[in-house]
């Protein structure tokens, strides 16, 4: 998978994408991250990539010409790559969307800045607009880093072939169960006995139950769309009754 990042600040990517799992994935050729400076495609001697908005208002807007030049240059090399614009108005980035994007032949991610991007960029070049959530960042660079990280985890081999991306939180629509490691006791808190039992069926049952309970406490809306059995729904209702009476 090749990620082409179109940005005004390519230096921001030097640290996060050159450490840990992503570094190993790049070194082994599983992913390639290329940063393209949009200013290199500016038409004036000052390398201007933004201008005041038509109609007035505060802030600046990213200009269409530099972005168009940069997109067309990258598309010329990677014509099948999907073009994404990071913007608060876009589709919310989720576990499921990250998995979908991992199936693409390549991604071109435009990092929005300032008050936004000239609308003609979206009209002419963008395949999908994506947002991390209902908040605003100083720029799309951080959003692009998050997308590269989340999508890369679905690339075969990036996580060492263990398939961990398919057992994480949200893989089945729920939050992940609690995790423990040594020591078995710390400051009076003990690892649940079932995890020390060696009984894999009971461990799986406990983890599923904890996943259901944690999702209900922290993200109850996830249970609405989750694929739960009738027995699991009854079990949750019973736990709810116990909490109320207790």
- Rounded Cα distance between 137 and 153, Å, is 24
Query: Which among 103, 168, 193, 243 is annotated as catalytic?
Result: 168
53 is catalytic: no
- Rounded Cα distance between 74 and 20, Å, is 27
Query: Which among 88, 100, 128, 207 is annotated as catalytic?
Result: 88
149 is catalytic: no
Query: Which among 100, 104, 115, 232 is annotated as catalytic?
Result: 115
Q: In this structure, are residues 152 and 163 in contact, taking their beta carbons and an 8 Å threshold? A: no
* C-alpha dihedral, 85 to 89 to 90 to 92, nearest 10°: 130
Cis amide prior to 183 (ω within 30 degrees): yes
50 is catalytic: no
- ∠ Cα 226 229 234 (to 5°): 105
At a CB cut-off of 8 Å and minimum separation 6, what does 58 contact? 115
168 is catalytic: yes
Query: Which among 10, 113, 153, 216 is annotated as catalytic?
Result: 153
Residue numbers annotated as active site? 88, 115, 153, 168
């Amino acid at each position: 998978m090749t990620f082409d990042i179109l940005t005004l600040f390519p230096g921001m990517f030097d640290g996060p994408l050159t450490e840990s799992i992503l570094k190993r994935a790049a070194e082994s050729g599983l992913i390639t991250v290329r940063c393209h400076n949009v200013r290199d495609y500016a038409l004036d001697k000052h390398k201007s990539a933004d201008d005041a908005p038509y109609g007035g208002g505060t802030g600046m807007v990213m200009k269409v010409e530099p972005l168009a030049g940069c997109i067309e240059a990258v598309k010329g090399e990677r014509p099948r790559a999907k073009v994404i614009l990071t913007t608060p108005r876009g589709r919310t980035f989720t576990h499921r969307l990250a998995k979908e994007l991992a199936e693409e032949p390549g991604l071109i991610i435009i990092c929005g800045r300032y008050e936004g991007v000239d609308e003609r960029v979206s009209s002419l070049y963008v395949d999908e607009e994506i947002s991390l959530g209902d908040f605003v960042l100083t720029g799309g660079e951080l959003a692009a880093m998050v997308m590269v990280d989340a999508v890369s985890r679905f690339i075969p081999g990036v996580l060492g072939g263990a398939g961990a991306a398919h057992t994480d939180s949200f893989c089945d629509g729920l939050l992940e169960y609690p995790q423990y490691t040594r020591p078995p006791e710390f400051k009076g808190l003990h690892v649940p006995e079932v995890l020390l039992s060696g009984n894999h069926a009971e461990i799986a049952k406990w983890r599923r139950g904890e996943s259901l309970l944690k999702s209900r406490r922290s993200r109850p809306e996830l249970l609405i769309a989750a694929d739960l059995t009738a027995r699991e729904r009854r079990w949750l209702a019973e736990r709810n009754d116990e909490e109320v009476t207790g």
